[in-house]
């Protein structure tokens, strides 16, 4: 990738006593080095991509420490890396986006979880639910429970996060269980500071090699070892984890004493504080007026700790995000066993699902307090509620209509947009067809103006998810996949299965060169560094044929690679794929480099050339306002953010004209669509040559003079 | 460029800019919500806030959820600023998310993003200073409408004024462009200058300098926005005026005389229309236009005004001759040069992206030849593009040549058809005006030609819809003028806002089906 994390890399090198300033996820990365990890792996995804991105760019520092970094092909591969800590006393960490990545990793997790670890093993999972995320709110908690992992959900404050990471390794070693550290998106992007400690070089590492360990049948998942594993999990590892959690006071108590209290996951503690302040249940400085138990370790729970907290209380409110309420259920069981009588309110008082932001918590708190501690109730929550309701009502009355949504979309110059334009054109001729979509930037085509894509069944699952649809569709089905998804699992789950089973479908592979939606990480098929610098401002992806080669290798007979900006060729090729008599899988590789990467490479290069007085050529597009009739076919076919509307300069026109704003990167899609789809003749391309040499300038001046002489001078209308 | 409005009933005076003392004694943190679009520099802004707070001896914590929002989606950032903890005291827990009704400052880097925040309850009159950029970045939904789908800016501004404790409305984007920086810089200036945050100007400027990149531009934009937000400067309001008044065009004497005879409500539009048609064709064509407008003006002034606008556009239909005439002008090349900010030594080439089809060629041919071509034309399917370089001698000459066909236009296939359709429409207008309740119905009918627009297939569909709606209207208007008008308006708006074709319904049969000729 072209993006630089130099500043973050500097932060990783800080020594004891220095102040780290930066994002939560980078703080966790630094904490890994402070904990002496020997290896780090993972698969990119919001909100934990940066952990790996920063590590990848911190090559020198890691080489010095002997830490191996492995950006994996998918989460299962990352989870399998933990096998190093099963067989050797080395610390290691892997990371991915949950719940999706945890699902992918599940098989390897079970196999690592069963024998247990001798070196501290940490899994950093980024929870990307809510706030416009594409990920289902399913609970990582369930995975920790079923695999007997420890699950940490730390209070999001940088120093605390770092301390928790360091404790997690000791906890993992003390219990022999892998530890999962759960970070919500806002915690990953939290900007704060903490006091650094020195990085620790691992004892066994790239620098200090170890001999192969003796083979231990007890580590292999075959009977009778598996039976021993089951017993070890419940009889030794979980109890050891509980002991460590209790002895090191990983869970915290805040607030005053009282007859009612709250138990909260550490990750949503700040939301609870905000809610308590709003409801008048906390002092202005945020100190709760009721006792709160903050669970930084949410699995396993420590029964004694819970019983102690609840003993003598009339009721507790459990604040636990997501469904089902595991903590609430487990708490009820523990209290019953301990003979503590204390009412438990959880999902009954709170929302069953959804994010527990302050607003949702205020509602639950109010219901809880009204029922169990009316003496604590003040009018504060109601007053706040009324004010917010009134503000919203006034806003919607004055605005008159709901504010139009602004979902993410394709960047200006994105090479994927032209493919969907071509699909729309083909649809006009051949009619609509089922599209099994996939995860990645290309899934934005489900939004306006394209609205292409029926289902998404997982990352890399586009073609696999068409397997049962294809046989009953009148029209041949289309499946999409990005190159990221292709290598993550699409090639195996989709392509090889379709070839083997003779699936009659069309697969569209977006070959943009990187895993772009997660931050343009490198893939096995990313264009080589050399070919990128050779490409300059042009697309570099044509230089790599790894995807085409493996398609050929597994026997895909009908294959076409088309450069995406050639809309006519793309439309022709797709139409052919949809109608050819060729049986089996048809694959169209849509080649065009991610525009973000291209611009990151090209812009500094252009700036350097301009500064050095070298000849540079720039292109952009324009629309003649006199000729635009405002039907906006171009917007609906292209969806380019640069294509916008503005007041018509024509006093006879009352509707806005379409125009191209200054952000245009000159990709040419709009102009080419205007031609291919016969939209309108108002588009024009402007090419500017700067720093041309004298002969070229002279020639150009002659041409301009001649052209000027051929043209009349008057303006179209006043 | 900006205006500040403080609520009249404000009891608490707005704190002086950078006066940390205004917040002293208050232990609740100051909360700042930033609503922006991906790529506007919201992350940089929150870093600056944090850095400035630290320089002022405060603590700040910020969070965001960028996710995929860097790809043009809406995104928010949230910052809390609190006093540094007293030694021995635990640090105060700061929030990660904004709480409705508890936002002290709302900074919106785009106008409709402000509306989105108001909708969610993040501005309350008792508390929130709203700093909003008045510029627009249109959403896809707004841009997709074939009519005018834009959100009414006046409503958004009214809502901000009603819900803000204090509203600072500045065109941050204009400041960004003027100082060649990112929008985060003027947004930071407006925030610091608003006095709603306990940050000193010196600390803010030091934070910008510490970035080390594009410092001069950022500082200049910061200063400009600071001055506006603190009330020291009042940029030129109304920087976004729509065009403004153009001087009335001068017409040939005989046409001018006839236009002057039209009623006041019609003549200004008719003057513009006549001038357009002189340029389009000649004085005689402009006269024909004035004749037609006069015909309607004798019956109904309001209808004539609406008809004058539509008729001018209709009579000046965009055939290949017109397209060439518009493109082949020296002044246009000069304008494009200027828009590309090309220096005198730069070479600028302009290429027109044409895709001439048989229909367009037939349209400008003499009627019999045009019909012959039309009969043999293949329809639909992707077209081949032809690029013509207007900035070259041959390209310019070719366009000029096509534009010169103007002299033969009256004999062209399309001319005859358009004039016949215009006459039919005028006759329908006259008939409608004679019917009971005709005024209202004729007003609706006068706007119908707006459907006859576009090029190629869009144009063909527009004509088909026009014909269908006109036929339905004419069949009903005699008996039910009101109903006919309502139906026409409904169908017209539907056709205008979404002029795309419905995709064909696939025929039944086993797959694979072949719908296209094999190449």
CB A284 within 8 A of CB A372: no
Average pLDDT over residues A642-664: 89
Compute the nearest-CA separation of A501 from chain B (Å). 17
Asked if B381's CB is within 8 angstroms of A686's CB, the reply is no
Same domain, A394 and A479: no
Answer with the one of A399, A430, A452 that is the final residue of a domain.
A399
Same domain, A535 and A620: no
Q: What is the pLDDT of residue B66?
A: 64
Under the banding of pLDDT at 50, 70 and 90, the label for residue A715 is: very low
- Interface A-B: count of C-beta contacts within 8 A: 438
Answer with the one of A246, A279, A302 that is the final residue of a domain.
A246
Same domain, A482 and A342: no
Q: Which of B455, B457, B466 is nearest to B320 (CA)?
A: B455
Same domain, A587 and A636: no
Residue A284 lies in a domain: yes
CA distances from A677 to A428, A591, B357, B385, B497 (A): 10, 21, 11, 9, 19
Residue A323 lies in a domain: yes
Residue A550 lies in a domain: yes
Q: What is the pLDDT of residue A132?
A: 59
Same domain, A440 and A514: yes
| Residue A86 domain boundaries | 6-246
Same domain, A578 and A502: yes
Interface check for B211 against chain A (CB to CB < 8 A): the answer is no
For residue B4, the surrounding DSSP H or E stretch is strand B2-6
Q: What is the pLDDT of residue A448?
A: 81
Alpha helices by DSSP H, listed for B120-151, are 140-144
CATH, residue A390: 3.40.50.920
Structure tokens at A316: 């507790």
Tell me the three state secondary structure of residue A587. Answer: strand
CA dist., res. B187 & res. B176, Å (int):
9
> With a CB-CB cutoff of 8 Å, which residues 382-411 of chain B face chain A?
382-387, 390-393, 395-397, 399-400
> With a CB-CB cutoff of 8 Å, which residues 102-121 of chain B face chain A?
102, 112-113, 115-116, 118-121
Same domain, A583 and A653: no
Compute the nearest-CA separation of A206 from chain B (Å). 34
Q: Which residues in chain B are contacts of A473 at CB distance < 8 A?
A: 511
Q: Which residues pair with A645 in a beta bridge?
A: A658
Residue A606 lies in a domain: no
> Between helices B320-327 and B393-403, what is the axis angle to 10°?
140
Q: Which of B121, B155, B340 sits opposite A391 (nearest CB)?
A: B121
CATH, residue A620: 3.30.70
Q: What is the pLDDT of residue B516?
A: 40
Percent of chain B whose pLDDT exceeds 90: 68
Same domain, A644 and A555: no
Same domain, A236 and A323: no
pLDDT at A359 exceeding the cut of 60: yes
Q: Which of A591, A569, A411, A417 is nearest to A511 (CA)?
A: A591
Residue A294 lies in a domain: yes
Higher pLDDT, A196 or A703: A196
Q: Count of domains in chain A?
A: 4
Average pLDDT over residues A196-222: 95
* DSSP letter (8 states) at residue B91: P
Residue A583 lies in a domain: yes
Domain ranges of chain B: 2-229, 245-316, 336-411, 416-499
Please give the mean pLDDT across all residues of chain A: 93
pLDDT, tens only, B481-496: 999 999 999 999 988 8
pLDDT, tens only, B271-288: 999 999 999 999 999 999
Residue A479 lies in a domain: yes
pLDDT at B183 exceeding the cut of 80: yes
Average pLDDT over residues A5-30: 95
Same domain, A35 and A86: yes
Structure tokens at B287: 């006269």
Under the banding of pLDDT at 50, 70 and 90, the label for residue B72 is: low
Q: What is the pLDDT of residue B233?
A: 67
Same domain, A300 and A358: yes
Asked if B326's CB is within 8 angstroms of A716's CB, the reply is yes
Q: What is the pLDDT of residue B10?
A: 32
Domain B2-229: what homologous superfamily?
Pyruvate-ferredoxin oxidoreductase, PFOR, domain III (3.40.920.10)
- Lowest average pLDDT, out of A128-137, A246-255, B85-94, goes to A128-137
Provide the Cα torsion A618, A624, A628, A634; round to 10°.
Answer: -10
The chain A residue lying nearest B505, using CA atoms, is: A431
Average pLDDT over residues A209-222: 93
Q: What is the pLDDT of residue A714?
A: 53
Interface check for B378 against chain A (CB to CB < 8 A): the answer is no
pLDDT at B444 exceeding the cut of 70: yes
Q: What is the pLDDT of residue B4?
A: 62
pLDDT, tens only, B338-347: 988 888 889 9
pLDDT, tens only, A478-510: 999 999 999 999 999 999 999 999 999 999 999
Answer with the one of A329, A364, A399 that is the final residue of a domain.
A399
Q: What is the pLDDT of residue A588?
A: 98
Structure tokens at B273: 């229309």
pLDDT at B457 exceeding the cut of 50: yes
CATH, residue A114: 3.40.50.970
Provide the Cα torsion B151, B153, B154, B157; round to 10°.
Answer: 120
Which is it for strands A505-511 and A586-591: parallel, antiparallel or unpaired? parallel
Residue A609 lies in a domain: no
The chain A residue lying nearest B275, using CA atoms, is: A717
pLDDT at B381 exceeding the cut of 90: no
Q: What is the pLDDT of residue B88?
A: 75
pLDDT at B236 exceeding the cut of 80: no
Same domain, A499 and A468: yes
């Amino acid at each position: 990738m072209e993006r630089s994390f130099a500043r973050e890399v500097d932060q990783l090198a800080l020594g004891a006593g220095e102040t780290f300033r930066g994002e939560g996820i980078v703080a966790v990365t630094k904490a890994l080095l402070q904990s002496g990890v020997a290896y780090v792996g993972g698969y990119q995804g919001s909100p934990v991509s940066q952990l790996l991105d920063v590590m990848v760019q911190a090559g020198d520092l890691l080489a010095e420490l002997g830490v191996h970094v492995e950006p994996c092909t998918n989460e299962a591969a990352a989870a399998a890396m933990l096998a190093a800590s099963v067989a050797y006393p080395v610390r290691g960490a892997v990371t991915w986006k949950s719940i999706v990545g945890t699902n992918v990793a599940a098989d390897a997790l079970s196999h690592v979880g069963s024998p247990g670890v001798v070196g501290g093993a940490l899994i950093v999972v980024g929870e990307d639910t809510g706030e416009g995320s594409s990920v289902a709110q399913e609970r990582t908690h369930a995975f920790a429970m079923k695999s007997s992992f420890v699950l940490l959900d730390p209070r999001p404050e940088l120093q605390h996060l770092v301390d928790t990471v360091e404790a997690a390794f000791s906890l993992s070693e003390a219990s022999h269980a892998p530890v999962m550290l759960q970070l919500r998106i806002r915690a990953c992007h939290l900007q704060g500071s903490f006091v650094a400690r020195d990085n620790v070089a691992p004892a066994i590492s790239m620098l200090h090699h170890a001999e192969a360990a003796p083979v231990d049948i007890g580590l292999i998942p075959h009977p009778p070892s598996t039976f021993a594993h089951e017993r070890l999990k419940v009889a030794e590892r979980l109890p050891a984890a509980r002991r460590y959690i209790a002895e090191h006071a990983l869970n915290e108590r805040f607030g005053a004493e009282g007859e009612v209290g709250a138990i909260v996951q550490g990750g949503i503690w700040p939301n609870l504080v905000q809610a308590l302040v709003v409801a008048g249940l906390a002092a202005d400085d945020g100190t709760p007026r009721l006792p709160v138990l903050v669970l930084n370790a949410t699995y396993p729970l420590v029964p004694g700790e819970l019983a102690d907290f609840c003993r003598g209380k009339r009721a507790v409110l459990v604040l636990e995000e997501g469904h089902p309420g595991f903590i609430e259920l487990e708490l009820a069981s523990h209290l019953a066993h301990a003979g503590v009588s204390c009412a438990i309110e959880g999902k009954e008082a709170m929302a069953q699902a959804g994010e527990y932001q302050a607003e949702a918590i205020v509602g639950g708190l109010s219901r809880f307090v009204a029922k169990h501690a009316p003496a604590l109730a003040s009018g504060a929550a109601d007053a706040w509620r009324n004010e917010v309701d009134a503000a919203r009502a006034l806003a919607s009355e004055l605005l008159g209509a709901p504010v139009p949504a602004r979902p993410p979309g394709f960047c200006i110059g994105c090479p994927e947009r032209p493919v969907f334009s071509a699909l729309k054109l083909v649809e006009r001729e051949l009619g609509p067809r089922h599209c099994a979509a996939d995860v990645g930037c290309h899934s934005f085509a489900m939004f306006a103006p394209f609205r292409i894509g029926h289902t998404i069944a997982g990352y890399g699952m586009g073609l696999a998810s068409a397997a049962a649809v294809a046989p009953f569709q009148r029209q041949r089905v289309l499946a999409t996949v990005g190159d990221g998804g292709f290598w993550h699992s699409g090639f195996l789950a989709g392509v090889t299965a379709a070839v083997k089973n003779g699936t009659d479908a069309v697969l569209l592979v977006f070959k943009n060169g990187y895993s772009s939606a997660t931050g343009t990480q490198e893939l096995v098929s990313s264009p080589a560094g050399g070919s990128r610098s050779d490409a300059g401002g042009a697309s570099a992806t044509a230089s790599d044929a790894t995807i085409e080669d493996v398609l050929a290798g597994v026997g895909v007979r009908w294959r076409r690679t088309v450069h995406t900006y050639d809309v006519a060729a793309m439309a022709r090729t797709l139409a052919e794929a949809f109608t050819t008599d060729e049986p089996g899988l048809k694959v169209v590789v849509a080649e065009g480099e991610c525009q973000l990467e291209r611009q990151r490479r090209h812009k500094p290069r252009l700036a350097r050339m301009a500064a050095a007085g070298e000849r540079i050529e720039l292109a952009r597009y324009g629309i003649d306002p006199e000729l635009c009739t405002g039907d906006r076919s171009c917007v609906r076919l292209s969806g380019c953010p640069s294509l916008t509307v503005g007041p018509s300069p024509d006093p006879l026109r009352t509707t806005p004209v379409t125009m191209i704003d200054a952000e245009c990167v000159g990709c040419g899609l709009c102009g080419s669509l205007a031609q291919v789809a016969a939209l309108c003749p108002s588009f024009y391309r402007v090419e500017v040559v700067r720093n041309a040499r004298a002969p070229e300038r002279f020639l150009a001046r002659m041409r301009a003079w001649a052209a000027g002489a051929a043209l009349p001078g008057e303006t179209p209308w006043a | 460029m900006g205006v500040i409005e403080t609520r009249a009933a404000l009891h608490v005076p707005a704190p002086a800019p950078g006066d940390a003392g205004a917040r002293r004694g208050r232990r609740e943190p100051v909360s700042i919500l930033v609503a922006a679009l991906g790529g506007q520099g919201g992350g940089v802004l929150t870093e600056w806030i944090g850095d400035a707070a630290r320089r002022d001896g405060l603590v700040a914590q910020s969070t965001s959820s960028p996710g995929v929002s860097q790809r043009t989606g809406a995104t928010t950032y949230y910052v809390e600023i609190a006093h540094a903890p007293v030694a021995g005291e635990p640090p105060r827990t700061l929030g990660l998310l904004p709480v409705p009704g508890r936002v002290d400052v709302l900074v919106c880097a785009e106008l409709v993003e402000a509306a989105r925040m108001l909708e969610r309850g993040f501005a309350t009159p008792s508390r929130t200073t709203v700093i909003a950029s008045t510029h627009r970045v249109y959403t896809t939904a707004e841009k997709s409408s074939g009519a005018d789908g834009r959100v009414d800016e006046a409503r958004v501004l009214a809502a901000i004024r009603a819900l803000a404790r204090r509203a600072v409305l500045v065109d941050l984007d204009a400041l960004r462009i003027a100082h060649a920086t990112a929008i985060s810089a003027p947004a930071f200036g407006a925030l610091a200058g608003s006095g709603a945050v306990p940050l000193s100007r010196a600390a803010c400027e030091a934070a910008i300098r510490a970035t080390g990149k594009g410092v001069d531009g950022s500082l200049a934009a910061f200063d400009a926005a600071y001055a506006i937000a603190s009330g020291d400067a009042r940029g030129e309001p109304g920087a976004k005026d729509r065009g403004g008044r153009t001087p009335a065009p001068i017409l040939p004497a005989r046409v001018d005389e006839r236009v002057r005879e039209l009623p006041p409500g019609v003549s200004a539009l008719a003057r513009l229309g006549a001038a357009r048609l002189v340029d389009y064709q000649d004085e005689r064509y402009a006269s024909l236009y004035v004749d037609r407008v006069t015909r309607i003006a004798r019956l109904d002034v309001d209808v004539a005004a609406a008809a004058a606008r539509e008729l001018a556009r209709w009579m000046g239909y965009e055939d290949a001759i017109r397209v060439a005439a518009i493109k082949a002008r020296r002044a246009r090349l000069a304008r494009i040069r200027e828009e590309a900010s090309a220096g005198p030594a730069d070479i600028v080439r302009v290429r027109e992206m044409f895709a001439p089809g048989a229909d367009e060629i037939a349209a400008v041919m003499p009627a019999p030849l045009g019909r012959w071509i039309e009969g043999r034309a293949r329809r639909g399917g992707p077209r081949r593009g032809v690029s013509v370089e207007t900035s070259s001698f041959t390209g310019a000459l070719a366009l000029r040549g096509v534009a010169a066909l103007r002299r033969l236009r009256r004999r062209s296939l399309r001319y005859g058809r358009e004039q016949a359709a215009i006459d039919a429409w005028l006759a329908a207008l006259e008939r409608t005006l004679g019917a009971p309740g005709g005024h209202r119905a004729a007003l609706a009918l006068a706007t119908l030609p707006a459907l006859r627009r576009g090029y190629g297939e869009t144009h063909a569909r527009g004509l088909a819809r026009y014909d269908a709606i006109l036929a339905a209207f004419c069949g009903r208007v005699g008996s039910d003028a009101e109903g006919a008008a309502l139906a026409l308006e409904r169908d017209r708006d539907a056709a205008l806002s979404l002029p795309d074709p419905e995709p064909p319904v696939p025929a039944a049969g086993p797959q694979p089906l072949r719908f296209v000729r094999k190449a």
